[in-house]
């Protein structure tokens, strides 16, 4: 009997699909590593999970976060090829598939040989500890989560230069919780307003009004 991908409590998605588990970046706050270490992959070395790959997608339109337990920076090429091939199947073009990475050069490296389907959105995660000078124009959105160091207005404006980015997500570190200074949030929202971007401020940002655009991915 077919097994459906799992629903999620992540506010900007409806489901998660994790055909790969593991990451080599070593972020100290990584929630995925904590989960993997407890239940199935203590080393958190990237590995292909065939059982997860074979899960089916919902009948109704869904927003599917593909990489919640990994970063495509560390995927093998055949894993990327298999995942993009499944997504590209015409019967799934009414779903939106979300990928996140902390690698600003992902399009020049892991994705250089692939045509990205139109229903795939690829975002760059920036926590403030290391801010790239510029990013590839193919990124669809910026994800400031968890925001643990300040990103200035100039940083945000520079990142948006010559890109097609129309969306920004802001979220706080949890477990343990780390509050984001209000100035850091306003740095991002100010530039977001100037550029007319869609903004999504998660519930875990406790000192700022929650902003959740209903048509965020459209």
Residue 209's pLDDT is: 85
Q: What pLDDT, on a 0 to 100 scale, did the predictor assign at position 114?
A: 95
Same domain, 90 and 11: yes
Which of the listed residues 124, 139, 164 is the one where a domain comes to its end? 124
Query: Do 147 and 217 lie in a common domain?
Result: yes
- pLDDT of amino acid 168: 97
Instruction: Look up the domain containing 42 and give its range.
Output: 1-124
- pLDDT for position 35: 85
Q: Which of 107, 124, 141 delimits the end of a domain? A: 124
Do 3 and 93 belong together in one domain? yes
The residue from 85, 106, 124 where one domain ends is: 124
CA distance 46 to 126: 21
Q: Are residues 107 and 166 in the same domain?
A: no
151, 128 in Cβ contact below 8 A?
Answer: yes
Q: 169 and 198 in contact (C-beta within 8 Å)?
A: no
Q: DSSP of the chain, one letter per residue?
A: ---BPEE---TT-SEE--SEEB-SS--TT-HHHHHHHHHT-TT---EE-HHHHTPBPPSS--EEES-TTB-GGG--HHHHHHHHHHHTSGGGTTSEEEEEES-TTTTTTTTTT-PPPTTEEEEEE--SSS--S---TT--EEEETT--S---HHHHHHHHTTS---EEEE--BTTTTBPPPHHHHHHHHHHHHHHT-EEEE-TT-TTS--EE-TTTT-
pLDDT at 70 over 90: yes
151 & 201 share domain: yes
Number of domains in the chain: 2
Q: Do residues 110 and 151 share a domain?
A: no
Check pLDDT > 90 for residue 215.
no
Instruction: Verify that 107 and 20 share a domain, yes or no.
Output: yes
Q: 74 and 163: one domain?
A: no
Q: Are residues 75 and 23 in the same domain?
A: yes
- pLDDT per position as a tens digit, 179-203: 999 999 999 999 999 999 999 999 9
Q: Are residues 6 and 101 in the same domain?
A: yes
| Lowest model confidence (mean pLDDT) among 36-40, 61-65, 73-77, 123-127 | 36-40
* Residue 133 and residue 148 share a domain: yes
Same domain, 107 and 179: no
Question: pLDDT tens across 133-158, in order?
Answer: 999 999 999 999 999 999 999 999 99
């Amino acid at each position: 009997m077919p097994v459906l991908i799992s629903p999620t409590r992540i506010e900007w998605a409806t489901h998660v699909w994790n055909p790969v588990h593991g990451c080599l970046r070593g972020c100290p706050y990584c929630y995925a590593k904590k989960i993997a270490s407890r239940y199935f992959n203590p080393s958190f070395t990237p590995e292909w999970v065939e059982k997860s790959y074979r899960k089916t997608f919902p009948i109704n339109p869904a927003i599917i976060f593909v990489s919640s337990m990994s970063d495509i920076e560390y995927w093998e090429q055949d894993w990327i090829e298999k995942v993009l091939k499944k997504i590209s199947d015409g019967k799934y073009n009414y779903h939106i598939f979300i990928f996140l990475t902390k690698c600003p050069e992902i399009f020049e490296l892991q994705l250089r040989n692939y045509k990205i389907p139109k229903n795939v959105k690829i975002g760059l995660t920036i926590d403030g500890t290391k801010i790239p000078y510029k990013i590839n124009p193919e990124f669809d959105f910026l994800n400031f989560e968890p925001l643990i160091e300040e990103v200035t207005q100039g940083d945000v404006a520079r990142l948006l230069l010559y890109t097609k980015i129309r969306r920004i997500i802001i979220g706080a570190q949890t477990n343990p919780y780390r509050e984001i200074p209000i100035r850091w949030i306003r740095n991002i929202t100010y530039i977001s307003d100037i550029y007319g971007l869609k903004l999504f401020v998660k519930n875990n940002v406790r000192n700022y009004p929650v902003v959740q655009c209903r048509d965020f991915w459209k």
